[in-house]
Amino acid sequence: MSAIELLKTPLHALHLELGAKMVPFAGYEMPVNYPGGIIHEHRHCRESAALFDVSHMGQVRLVGEESARALESLVPVDVCDLAVGRQRYAFFTNPHGGILDDLMITRRETDLLLVVNASRKQDDLRHLVTHIGQRCHVQPMPERALLALQGPRAAAVLARLNGGVAALVFMTGGRFALDGIDCFVTRSGYTGEDGFEISVPTEQAETLARALLRQPEVAPAGLGARDTLRLEAGLCLYGHDIDETTTPVEAGLTWAIQKVRRAGGARAGGYPGAPAIDAQLSQGPAVKRVGLVGLERVPVREGAKLFDAQGGALGRVTSGTLAPTVNQPVAMAYLAADHALPGHEVQADVRGRRLPMRVAPMPFAPHRYHRA
Amino acid sequence: MTTMYTPDHEWINIEDHEAATVGITQHAQDALGDVVFVDLPEVGRSFKKGEVAGVVESVKAAADIYMPVAGEIVEVNEALRADPSLANSDPLGEGWFFKVHVTNMAEFDQLMDAPAYDLLVKKG
């Protein structure tokens, strides 16, 4: 087997120093967990503050007068009305209304900052350059690392480095000096907790990470805990819970499609797959993403097939695990709309055994965002 | 040698060949991470060498437990079923999986001894 050269984030040496178990992920060598283990890291994030290296994700800036209008031709989201300092969740769609990637958009003074998935960033860049590269400058930002500080103590910790961050609320961002380092901070994350994502110059990322880890409330957490935390929070993982074959409507992400971009809105449509998505918005989707809670203490994982009481095939699990905080098996799946009802019981096939699961509202663990 | 090892990272202790104890190795528990579920075989059921006799699941993955040797299950570790984290905290002791009545000692002798297993783990 030929060795594929894995990319390293600016914190690679720090991960090794901290005793991380490193795994390949989206072309990078990333920490899956540190010596305390995934469950410990997961709980620490729910109870205190966890530091994640998410520098593998793609940061891209769009510069130019037309950048918001241009971006609206690729996402069904209101970008034009996004005020400076405000952030929005979005997705690139394909001509069938499927999801090419999900992303965060923040309007800054002089540009739009996009954060996209690591596994999709090359494709996303190509997509952006091809379709809107004539209307704005599409600039990848390899000079920036990305850290996430998440948990109920995150705000107190970060305020120690710069009291100004306390003014941020969920889904807003601004430029702050943290320990003298010029950072762009948003109050957002992927854990369901209050917290921040910090865009930092690569050469100063390790200094900042060490400054954060010196705070008594902070412990490092890896991709393993990141996955269990986001799953409990009911947040989709691209390539698993959403992909090119699922639409935002089927995925239950219609809250991210503002009225102004829907049929009848002032800037309706005009993005790939708009007719398909508008049709699903008005008629309802045939299948829906649901949360499932296992009634037996057996983890039900991605790929597990789902059946109704009569043994009829219903679909399959898109991600699942035994959730550390809710302490039950939880999963996501797509079910026919008439099965996607709270309390509805389905059977999951795990190694030939049928395990009962119940459709449950998401998030499985309550969101604790700091809203205005 | 009373304890031998498999390439699949199980150990078997044969001090009592009518009830030889089987578990997963330190390396296996470390690779799996936090164990949250074990599926143990039924007592009285017989397996061939190499058959899947159980499953161990961590937060991030599920792994099969293969029979190190042929035999009949005579006991399973109910304490492990109740507290799967014993497989992490004490994989070679309290975290054992099941006991098996070994019928063919030659199969046991073909397994790896501790130095051979350590070498396998080091080579990765």
Q: Residue A347 maps to which CATH number?
A: 2.40.30.110
From B95's Cα to the closest Cα of chain A, the distance in A is 18
Q: What is the pLDDT of residue A298?
A: 95
Strand partners, A140: A60
Does residue A79 have a pLDDT over 80? yes
Does residue B1 have a pLDDT over 90? no
Per-domain residue ranges of chain B: 3-123
Average pLDDT over residues A147-160: 98
Q: What is the domain count for chain A?
A: 2
Does residue B60 have a pLDDT over 90? no
Instruction: Say if CB A206 and CB A142 are below 8 A apart.
Output: no
Does residue A272 have a pLDDT over 70? yes
Q: Which residue of B has its CA nearest to A328?
A: B36
Distance CA A233, CA A89 (A): 15
Does residue A134 have a pLDDT over 70? yes
Average pLDDT over residues A78-92: 98
Is residue A291 a part of any domain in this protein?
A: yes
Answer yes or no: do A223 and A291 share one domain.
no
Is residue A122 a part of any domain in this protein?
A: no
Distance CA A323, CA A331 (A): 9
Q: Say yes or no: A224 contacts chain B, CB-CB below 8 A.
A: yes
Q: Which residues of A touch B60 (CB under 8 A)?
A: 32, 38, 224, 227, 321
Nearest to A228 among B59, B62, B88 (CB): B59
CB contact under 8 A, A224 and B37: no
Q: What is the pLDDT of residue A77?
A: 98
CATH topology classification for B3-123 = OB fold (Dihydrolipoamide Acetyltransferase, E2P) (2.40.50)
Is residue A83 a part of any domain in this protein?
A: no
Residue range of the domain that includes A295: 286-364
Final residue of a domain: which of A210, A232, A254?
A232
Is residue A70 a part of any domain in this protein?
A: no
Answer yes or no: do A185 and A317 share one domain.
no
Q: What is the pLDDT of residue B72?
A: 97
Instruction: Say if CB A3 and CB A190 are below 8 A apart.
Output: no
Distance CA B46, CA A322 (A): 30
Domain CATH code at residue A24: 3.30.1360.120
Average pLDDT over residues A150-166: 98
Q: Where residue A2 falls among pLDDT bands split at 50, 70, 90?
A: very low
Nearest to B37 among A33, A42, A297 (CB): A297
- For A113, A291, A343, B30, B52, the CA distances from A313, given in Å and listed in that order, are 43, 17, 18, 37, 27
Strand partners, A347: A307, A356
Q: Which residue of B has its CA nearest to A353?
A: B39
Task: Locate B37 and state its tokens.
Answer: 């579920």
Q: What is the CA radius of gyration of chain A?
A: 21
- ipTM tops 0.90: no
From A30's Cα to the closest Cα of chain B, the distance in A is 15
Is residue A272 a part of any domain in this protein?
A: no
Q: Strand A144-150 to strand A87-93: parallel, antiparallel, or no bridges (unpaired)?
A: unpaired
Answer yes or no: do A149 and A220 share one domain.
yes
List of E strands, chain B: 3-5, 10-13, 20-24, 35-39, 46-47, 52-58, 62-66, 71-76, 98-102
Is residue A147 a part of any domain in this protein?
A: yes
